Amino acid sequence: MRSQNTRETPTGVMQRAASILDVLDGAEPMNLSQIVAATGLPLSSAHRALEQLVGLRWVHRHGKKYQLGMRIIELGSAASQQNALRRAALPSLHWLHRVTGCIVHLGVLDGDEVVYLEKVGGELVAGIRSRVGSRMRAETSAIGKALLALDRPAHTGSPDIDRARELRVVYEHERCMKGFSCVAAPIGTMGHGEPAAVSVFGSVAKIRADQRIHLSVQTAAAEIGRRLDLPRSGTAQQRPARSRQSRLGA
C-alpha cells in the first residue's frame, strides 16, 4: 500500500514519466483520467508522456487502459537478479518455506515503508495480496517492525520494536488478515545503510502451535546475514545454534 503523501505536480520530462510509472505499479490497469487524477498532471502532459512511454515499451496500452510494459518487466527482473541481498537470501527463503509450509517474504526499509524484494510460497502465493515490488507502511507489519528495529535510534518506545531489537523477532496475529499470523526477524543493515528482514506468513493455528517456526525464521535471518558478512547485534545467546544453520547450505 502506497503512502498518501501530498506532493507537488511533476514538471520535468523524467519526473512526469516517473510519476506515471509510479501510479501504474498496482495490479489493475488505469485509464487516462485515473492517471491524471493520481499524478496531478495536466491531461495533455499525461497523454503525451504516456504515448512516449508506450513507444519505449515501458507502458502497454490495451484499448483505453494502460499498464506497465514489457520493458519495465524486463528491467525489473534484471534489477532483481542483480540484487546482492536477494541472491544471498534465496536459498534460505526456499529452505524456510520448506520447513514451515508458510509464505516467506524478504523486505527492505525505504523511508517509512517496507519494499518486498522476494516472496516464496508455492501454490499459497496466489491467495496473499503482497507481491514483489509492492510496499506498505513499516509500522503496520511484523516485517516492518523488524526493519525499524535496525533503523535509526529514533524508533524507540514501541514494545514491538524494542522487543525486535532485543530478541530479534516480531510477532503479529491477525493484523494484516483475519486468521493469519506473521513472524519476522531482522537480518541486518546492508553496506549502504538499508535494513533488511525476513518473515513467514501463515495461519494463526499453525504459527502458535509450532514454536520451531520462530526459531526457523531467526535461523534463516542469521544465515542470510552470514552470507553477506553482515555484523549482528545482540548477544551470543541470541544467535541460533550452528547445527541448525548448517541445514541451510551455502
Domains along the chain with CATH numbers: 13-73 (1.10.10.10), 83-229 (3.30.450.40)
Angstrom distance (rounded) from CA 238 to CA 245: 13
At 221, the amino acid letter reads: A
Q: Is 0.75 surpassed by the pTM of this model?
A: no
Angstrom distance (rounded) from CA 118 to CA 132: 5
Backbone dihedral angles phi then psi of residue 217, each to the nearest 5 degrees: -65, -45
Per residue of the chain (250 residues), give pLDDT as tens. 444 444 445 457 788 888 888 888 776 899 999 999 999 999 999 999 999 999 988 899 999 999 988 888 777 766 665 578 888 899 999 999 999 999 999 998 888 889 888 999 866 665 677 778 788 888 888 898 889 888 766 555 677 777 777 778 888 876 767 888 899 999 988 666 678 999 999 888 888 878 899 899 999 999 999 988 876 543 333 333 333 333 333 2
User: Could you tell me the maximum CA-CA distance found in the chain, to the nearest angstrom?
Assistant: 63
